[in-house]
Amino acid sequence: MDPEMERMLAAIGPRLRSLRRDRGLTLEALAAQTGISVSSLSRLESGKRRPTLELLVPLARAHRIALDQLIATPATGDPRVHLTPVRHRRNGSVLVPLTQYPGRLQVFKQVIAPGPRKLVTHAGYEWLFVLAGELTLVLGERELRLGPGEVAEFDTAEPHWFGPSGDRSVEILHVFGPRGDRARVRATT
């Protein structure tokens, strides 16, 4: 086997372990999701078992990532990202996932249609950048309005809601970190 292929296969185990840990899953929980035994998963992650398609396909499904992302296939020369928008049937909002790594920092482009306000809380940290329109952000008792180019970041443990300020949609970039990951902005003038 050529050295590049050997390196690619050797990197799969640590990548599998990292994906599982980033999602906060035990080997037992992942085994229950995939039907792969705990010992097989452990051996895959430690590099003691060679990955096969029969093992990698259920793992890619469980982690909700493409198989080529799981095995880190070499670039094909096509840099395009093939996005799959998710449309909300009831209110017409559109969510476009820009990343596909559950349990890690998630990036979305959203077009949010007007809808009812409902404050929510959950673990994590959010960063919002307004691309077009006007966004209303409710954080606990505070209400803020943001226009194009404005940014907000907040801990999602605080009750919050965001959506269009009026009767027209708002377009945003939305970054979410499950364990309080904060966006780091570096700028020079």
CATH code for position 155: 2.60.120.10
Query: Is 129 a member of any domain?
Result: yes
Query: Residue 99 belongs to what domain range?
Result: 86-177
Dihedral sign (CA 142, 143, 149, 155): positive
Estimate to the nearest angstrom the gap between the alpha carbon of 5 and the chain centroid: 28
126 falls within a domain? yes
Q: What is the pLDDT of residues 119-153, one digit of tens each?
A: 999 888 899 999 999 999 999 999 999 999 999 99
CA distance 160 to 174: 14
- Per-residue pLDDT band for 1 (boundaries 50, 70, 90) equals confident
CATH number, position 18: 1.10.260.40
Q: Which DSSP string corresponds to 71-101?
A: HTPPP-S--------EE-TTT--EEEES---
- Structure token pair of residue 5: 């292929």
Q: Count up the domains in the chain and report the number.
A: 2
Rounded CA-CA distance 163/85 in Å is 18
Q: Which residues pair with 49 in a beta bridge?
A: none
What is the tens place of the pLDDT at every residue in 26-73?
A: 999 999 999 999 999 999 999 999 889 899 999 988 887 777 777 776
Question: Does 188 fall in a domain?
Answer: no
Of 25, 44, 71, which marks where a domain is finished?
Answer: 71
pTM: 0.54
65 and 97 fall within a common domain: no
Instruction: Give per-residue pLDDT as tens, 84-103.
Output: 777 776 777 887 878 766 66
